[in-house]
Amino acid sequence: MGKAAPEEGDAKHADAGATRTRRAPGPTPQGAFPMVINVLNGLVYGGLLYILSVGLVLIFGLRRVVNFAHGSLFMVGGYIAFAVAAHGGFWVALPVAIAALAILGVILDRFVFRPLQHEDPIATVLVTFGLLLVLEDVVKTIWGKDFLSLAAPPLLSGTVSIAGETFPVYRLMVIGVAVLVAAGLSLWLRFSRIGLYVRASSVDPVTTGMQGVDTDRVSAVVVAIGAGLAGLSGTIAAPLMALSPSMGSFILIDSFIVVVVGGLGSFTGAFIAALLIGQVHNFGIVYVPWAASLIPFLLMVAVLIWRPTGLAGGRA
């Protein structure tokens, strides 16, 4: 006897089962694609944090001043780039903003940081926080309170395909700039004469001065570099976020978390902590947006309980 033909309903169920079997032979890798993009976005924010926070590390290492005005330098750099880019384009605005903030850094070192170097920490906090408010008011007076935006340069305005997903070329450039800054600072500190003076002055400025090194001049150079890096970070951040007078206050908090988590005075620690905070911040926004702003603080508390000196201790 031959086999009976299957019922019509059974055939449909069999076809559907076969279809499901063909379409889902196992876990698909597509879920990993957004994860790659999230990691890259975390690296972008971490890169911005590093460029900004390493300036804080430089200034604190030489002047022992906790600069609460550093976020406003980031903000001023973005606005200067916006103004210059309107006439000369992004690539002209970038070096102009860096140079302008470096000059401002020298002025701040001479008239603010140097006098505050041996003052009570509370006085330092009050003065630098007041400077932050002054710079915000200056920006409001010149550019107003409205949100402004700076377009990415045409050369970097496209996208690339990564793991089947599109990702802006400009964001990759931000990651590359952060890596170049980290490598450049490391080489400068280790192999240049001024870098040797910086490392010596950060450990024992009195003995370094007795050896004939002009520590005030070295500190002025370091503060200029730190402020210039704030201008660099503000400029490359401008195409990524809306410009506003309060933009520096928000990122300053994360920058201080980076410095504390990495270890005061540690460049290596700042780099590791910035990348870590960038990932925590980005994944927090994606998966637990209601607690995203709280997670970096929880991480800082956990690290300080585990290692009070930060991830890299006091090493420079």
- Report pLDDT for 167: 92
* Bridge partner list, 159: 168
Write out the H or E segment, with its range, that includes residue 160.
Answer: strand 159-162
The whole-angstrom separation of Cα 118 and Cα 205 is 13
Query: Mean pLDDT across the stretch 222-227?
Result: 94
* 3-class secondary structure, 156: helix
Please determine, for residue 189, whether its predicted confidence score (pLDDT) is greater than 80.
Answer: yes
* CA neighbor of 198 nearest in space, from 211, 188, 183: 188
Please determine, for residue 17, whether its predicted confidence score (pLDDT) is greater than 70.
Answer: no
Of all residues in the chain, the percent with pLDDT exceeding 90 is: 53
Please determine, for residue 22, whether its predicted confidence score (pLDDT) is greater than 70.
Answer: no
Q: Which one is predicted more confidently, 215 or 175? A: 175
Please determine, for residue 311, whether its predicted confidence score (pLDDT) is greater than 60.
Answer: yes
- Report pLDDT for 316: 40
Query: Mean pLDDT across the stretch 124-135?
Result: 92
Asked if 50 and 109 count as a contact pair (C-beta separation under 8 A), the reply is: no
Helix and strand counts by DSSP (H, E) for the chain: 13, 2
The whole-angstrom separation of Cα 103 and Cα 225 is 9
Residue type, 115: P
Query: Would you kindly state where each structural domain of the chain is located, as residue ranges?
Result: 38-247
Query: Mean pLDDT across the stretch 149-162?
Result: 91
The whole-angstrom distance between residue 177's C-alpha and the CA centroid of its chain comes to 11
Please determine, for residue 24, whether its predicted confidence score (pLDDT) is greater than 80.
Answer: no
Where does the pLDDT of residue 28 fall: very low under 50, low under 70, confident under 90, or very high at 90 and above? very low
